[in-house]
Structure 1
Amino acid sequence: MSLPTIAVDAMGGDEGVRVMVEGAALARRRHASFRFLLVGDEKRLASALDDHPDLRGAADILHAPEAVAGDEKPTQALRRAKVTSMGLAIDAVKRGEAGAAVSAGNTGALMAMAKLALRTLPGIDRPALAALVPTMGAHDLVMLDLGANTECDARNLYQFAIMGAAYARIVNGLESPCVRLLNIGTEETKGTGHLRDAAALLKEASGNLALTFDGFTEADKLSRGDFDVAVTDGFSGNVALKAMEGAARFVGDLLRRSFSSSLRSKLGFLISRPATDLLRHHLDPNQHNGAVFLGLNGVVVKSHGGASAVGMANAIAVATRLVEENLIERISADVAAVDPDTIRQPARRRAANTEGETAL
């Protein structure tokens, strides 16, 4: 029986082939039960593999004459999908030659290509970008959507909750993940009509879903570790994620400045170095690398463009686990377990709610 394969867009990311291949080599040492399909310039990939003989025997090369530029518009990238490393990696998933595709390239292009090639699962209207966010709790927080859909209605948010819970059950080993909707307050009357409708849907259907719905949360609660899945639209999610990343960098920069301000501070740094190293590791985006496009008929993982080899290996690890744990089948089963008529009800309630909508 042939081993499952992960297709890697080896031309994506800021560092290109070297980091992609080094990351795949690290992943291979951790996941010897997988093979790799490295997609990109054949000569450059063959040369890079010379430095990783352990990977060479577990990797095939698929030549791609072109790569998607970081600033390329998704519509332009779509027209070149058949000749780019990104497009051919996704196509390998479509044709069943790979169980998942991993890319550190242009997010918009990756989303467009993946959605066109793989389509969405039955019962899912739009895919959502989900990622793991570090918390003070026992495990990371699953957060979605983080930019795939800037505007979402109640039906979309409801579906995101189902998909996010399925993802949390895999990555965090939870039986019934606690789900909250990101809002500007925790009271039931707060937020837009879409948010309140989504909350009503989740309450109604919670008995048939493998999740526990726990109402609304505010952004300052995302890192506490009090719940497992945060659901929001792509605009709010992306803003919240960038704010959290900025806050983490601010704390790191402030600590470095404080510890270098005087001789006493430098001595304090030496004493507290184990704690600061732990903090740095916990906030390092490479340790949480690998966002997933949930809702597609195939596994596609997005790596940070500036990820190191370790970060790339972690993104590949996410892909391997989702293949092993049958993410697609789990989401499909969860969606099928709920009456489709349930998720059409908010559209009929919207007219009654719009007049009373409030943002405060």
Structure 2
Amino acid sequence: MGEQSYDGYVDKSPFKNWTTLDGRRTFKRNVGDKGYLMKETDITTITDWTNEYEHIFAHTAASLNCPNPGYWSAIEYVGSKSQLFVGGDMQDFLTATNDPLFWSLYAMVDFIWEQWRELYQPILSDREKQYPANDTTCSGPAHFRNSPMIPFNNFKVIDGLSTKYTHTFSANVELVTVLPKLKSVVHAPIIALESAMKANARTTFALKNLRLPTRIYNAKPLQINTIYDCMDLACLCRFLNGTFTSKCVLPNGEELKKAVRKEYRSLTDEERERYHKAVIAIKANGEYDKLSMIHTTSTTSPAAHGGPGFLGWHREFIKRYEIALRTVDHTVALPYWDSTIEEMLHVKQDSTLWSKELMGEPDDDGYCSGVEADSGFRFAGLPELTGLQ
């Protein structure tokens, strides 16, 4: 996913000259400065919660009077720690989506949740209705089951639990069975990273200064207004001008199939190149920035953090990102980032994920000045919503 320069900017990567929402020429990382990566034990702790769905839908910004506060091993906290490890733009929810790695991290978070659902909710209807009771001592009303999923206001919070995401719209993710090749470098003993949680775990980046609306919401029934509202292939086919009978045939004669999410390193060279090109295309046409803006403030996305709506909200959010990619290339699916691969390395920063072997390396001045000539990527000077380059 690109290396960083001495001042933290990621430049030599497929996303060079990647103008951020605040006008910088590229996004920034500070890998390993704080936080720590997701561990296998983090995942097993979550998947060992049997049928205790209240722990999965954790109240991560609860008051002291909440009868069921979130555990420090909640999925939201685990994802936050990985964002802190990546650092730079990723460590603050105001800027996290500047980094294209954000979407793959939350595809992994979504994968963990779906693993839990398959283990402990064999009855599909349970997956769509088991959700914590409304309680203002535990979360703001924006997290209540029948509140609108702001800003996706034609969705309710409970709609984020729909089985349509994985049973009619996309296929299950592909598991990684063989670890990708990682750098092997001899190093002096690593200095232990500071804990992202410490004693004040609830002040992780996603929860700092979080202000949730206090009014009660009433959501309207789900309506399909744009392609991003689609919950099945038939709907997506219609917006892509395809013909749907038992399957979707696009105008070019190709079949639109369910998306299959793979670990980023397990993509073939062709799949990875197509993914990169699709990301660059939606950055160029403005869709990337439009989607990114949704995540920037708690007022425009109050159920995104700090409560049980977190998982469903992010599932809908990354679904929209994946749809944007598929409008450019229908064969593309959002790859997930399994950071447990990096976590197993003695020096986590030496993963090829941060290097030119996968997504480039920085030049000395911290900006995207180019990539290898045979990489096939040409992304210089991409515009964004502000028109800055």
Q: TM above 0.5, one fold?
A: no
Higher relative contact order (CA 8 A, sep 6+): 2
Pick the structure with greater CA Rg: 1
What TM-score do the two structures reach when normalised by structure 1?
A: 0.29
More strand by share: 1
More helix by share: 1
